[in-house]
């Protein structure tokens, strides 16, 4: 009698994608939006209180009016996106996540228009300030500040444009995680309110440096409305937290809708079978250079990382799988006789 032969597939280990697991994480993040909405309401209450304490200042220039209108639109749109994300995070919604991602990104850029208008207004004063510098000492910094601020404005605008372009690329490639697109989106919703706060601080510094600048306020009434800009900057802190949370929920919604419950990785004595874009691909143990983990703080978190001898790499977030890294490590050890392991030393968290 011939000895019984076991097919490797009979006792292979399978790690599959888990839309349910990702969906639960999305729901938890969505529930956290409620607390942020409450904190935003509290911030608005403090804002109104200080507005009354400051004798209810009103815009003295169209620049401040533009900022208040555009910032108000940004807030309303972001709030609406937060409410929709809070509701939609409890179920899989195809396409809703990407729509919310671009809505928040589009709303974030609106206040930047007011900052550009300020720069052009100050640029119109450039010739007059240079003439004034012949009579008033201490104005040599003006041109440096003027053109340096333009470079900063263009850099922020370029970051936002990159977030939009990379987001479109991510939307057109369903199998990609979109690391760069999501990071640039997060940077955009942080740096634009930060830029408004920086402009406000710079305005106060200029007024103080020029001795309260009565003449400057007469030429640029915007300098007289800095108190309103300060209030907007204060509200920007809560806005950043809320916008980032909506982005995280929308991105997890996108991941949930794109995942399909099917095997992502198989481990057997012959090697690994990985889920590539073209379909399952067999990678024999002799073709595997390293199997490890890469730590990522942003969602969806740390990744399982496979590097082959030909230099190609394959990655999948651990959070997308229905098992833990230790389970995968045990399977690799069992099927290779402890000759190979899953290196988790670089993980930023412990399972």
Burial 21-43 (b: 16+ CB within 10 A, else e): bbbebbbebbeebeebbeebeeb
Is residue 179 domain-shared with residue 312, that is, in the same domain?
A: no
Quickly state the pLDDT bin for 136 (edges 50, 70, 90): very low
Query: Which pLDDT does position 153 carry in this prediction?
Result: 92
Query: Which pLDDT does position 231 carry in this prediction?
Result: 87
Tell me the whole-structure pTM to 2 decimals.
0.86
Q: Which domain holds residue 330?
A: 8-16+261-336
Query: Which pLDDT does position 62 carry in this prediction?
Result: 82
Residue 34 lies in a domain: yes
List, in order, residues 6 or more apart from 182 with CB less than 8 Å away: 170, 247, 251, 298, 299
Model confidence over 153-203: pLDDT tens digits?
Answer: 999 999 999 999 999 999 998 888 888 999 999 999 999 999 888 888 877
144-158, 162-176, 203-217, 246-260: which range is least confident on average? 203-217
What is the distance in angstroms between the CA of the first residue and the CA of the last residue of the chain? 47
Averaging pLDDT over each range in 22-26, 162-166, 255-259, 271-275, which range is the top one?
A: 162-166
**pLDDT higher than 70, residue 240:** yes
Residue 80 lies in a domain: yes
Is residue 153 domain-shared with residue 86, that is, in the same domain?
A: yes
Model confidence over 302-335: pLDDT tens digits?
Answer: 889 999 999 899 999 999 999 988 899 999 999 8
CATH label of the domain that carries residue 282: 2.30.29
Model confidence over 74-120: pLDDT tens digits?
Answer: 999 999 999 999 999 887 777 899 999 999 999 999 999 988 888 88
Query: Which pLDDT does position 105 carry in this prediction?
Result: 96
301, 288 contact by CB (below 8 A): no
**Distance between CA atoms of residues 243 and 28, nearest Å:** 17
Residue where a domain terminates, one of 209, 237, 258: 258
Averaging pLDDT over each range in 42-56, 74-88, 138-152, 301-315, which range is the top one?
A: 74-88
Is residue 112 domain-shared with residue 236, that is, in the same domain?
A: yes
Does the CA dihedral 156-160-166-167 come out positive or negative?
positive
Residue where a domain terminates, one of 258, 290, 311: 258
**pLDDT higher than 50, residue 73:** yes
List, in order, residues 6 or more apart from 79 with CB less than 8 Å away: 37, 40, 242
Residue 183 lies in a domain: yes
């Amino acid at each position: 009698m011939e000895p019984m032969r076991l097919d490797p597939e009979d006792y292979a280990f399978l790690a599959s994608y888990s839309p349910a697991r990702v969906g639960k994480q999305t729901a938890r993040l969505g529930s956290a939006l409620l607390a942020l909405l409450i904190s935003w309401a509290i911030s608005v209450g403090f804002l109104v209180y200080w507005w009354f304490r400051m004798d209810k200042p009103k815009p003295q220039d169209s620049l401040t009016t533009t900022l208040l209108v555009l910032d108000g639109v940004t807030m309303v749109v972001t709030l609406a996106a937060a409410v929709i994300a809070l509701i939609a995070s409890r179920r899989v919604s195809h396409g809703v996540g990407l729509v919310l991602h671009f809505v928040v990104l589009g709303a974030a850029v609106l206040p930047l228009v007011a900052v550009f208008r300020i720069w052009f207004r100050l640029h119109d004063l450039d010739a007059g300030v240079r003439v004034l510098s012949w009579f008033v000492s201490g104005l040599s910094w003006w041109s440096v500040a003027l053109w340096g601020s333009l470079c900063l404005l263009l850099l922020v605008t370029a970051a936002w444009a990159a977030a939009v372009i990379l987001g479109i690329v991510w939307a057109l490639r369903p199998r990609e995680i979109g690391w760069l697109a999501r990071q640039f989106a997060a940077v955009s919703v942080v740096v634009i309110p930060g830029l408004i706060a920086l402009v406000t601080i710079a305005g106060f510094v200029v007024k103080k440096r020029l001795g309260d600048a009565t003449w400057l306020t007469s030429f640029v009434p915007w300098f007289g409305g800095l108190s309103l800009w300060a209030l907007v900057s204060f509200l920007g802190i809560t806005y950043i937290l809320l916008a980032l949370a909506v982005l995280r929920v929308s991105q997890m919604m996108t991941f949930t809708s794109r995942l399909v419950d099917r095997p992502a990785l198989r481990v057997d004595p012959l090697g690994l079978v990985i889920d590539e874009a073209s379909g399952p691909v067999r990678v024999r143990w002799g073709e595997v250079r390293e199997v490890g983990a890469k730590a990522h703080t942003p969602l969806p978190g740390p990744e399982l990382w496979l590097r082959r001898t030909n230099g190609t790499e394959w990655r999948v977030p651990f959070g997308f799988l229905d098992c833990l890294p230790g389970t995968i490590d045990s399977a690799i050890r069992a099927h290779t006789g402890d000759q190979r392991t899953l290196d988790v030393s670089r993980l930023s968290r412990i399972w």
